[in-house]
Amino acid sequence: MRFERTRQILDEDFEKLENAKVLLFGVGGVGGHCLDCLVRSGVKNITIVDYDTYDESNQNRQMWSELHEGELKTEALKAHYPNIKVINVKVEEDWVKEFDFSEYDVVLDAIDNTRAKLALAQACYRKLISSFGSAKRLDPTKVQVADIWKSAGDPLGKKIRRELTRRRFKSKYKVVFSSEEAVETEHVKASFVGVTATFGMTMCAEAIKKIRGK
């Protein structure tokens, strides 16, 4: 049986995974590995949101990218995970404000648009797990999970916390981040799959923890 070993470790909670509704924003280096982990863990109802296409530069870190160069990520991933639902849209602040999150149990944020990340925090922080920067890092053992106010060592996280404070947002939600100091390089998007994949797997594990706790 495909999920028997997962069922053995989760016991009765496995049914919670089968019945949960998960919304995943961004299916790049972090989100793609998170999606694969969720599907292999037995989560049946997953909706992914993205707008981008695969290109050659994605192939060092993004799931299935070498097979689908030039294709929309949402449609390409549906070929590998036929039961997922897809929304092909660029996630921006105004779109988030209009979206209905009520049917979802967990919302996963693996996008890099700062204003959209802020909007997601304000719209659904109780359901949210958010990923910060994984680029320019080499040590997967430095990947951590904490609530937004206890995260540290990440410039994006610092920017998010500062802006949330400015917006008088005081609630907590979980974030995945790295405490490793970024490698000094002029290449802004330099990345290592050992870290990006760890971010995605950690996000998946936190999602499962959240589902089991419901």
Sheet of 128-131, strands arranged across: 85-88, 45-50, 21-25, 106-109, 128-131, 174-178, 143-147
pLDDT tens, 66-120?
A: 989 999 999 999 999 999 999 999 999 999 999 999 999 999 999 989 999 999 9
Predicted TM-score (pTM) of the model is 0.95
Backbone angles phi, psi at 17, to 5 degrees: -65, -45
Q: What is the pLDDT of residue 169?
A: 96
Pick the CATH number of 4-213 from 2.120.10.10, 3.40.50.970, 3.40.50.720, 3.60.150.10: 3.40.50.720
Structure tokens at 189: 């998007």
User: Could you list the mean pLDDT of each consecutive 10-residue stretch along the chain, which spans 214 residues?
Assistant: 92 95 96 97 97 90 90 95 97 96 98 95 98 90 96 90 96 96 82 94 98 90
Domain ranges of the chain: 4-213
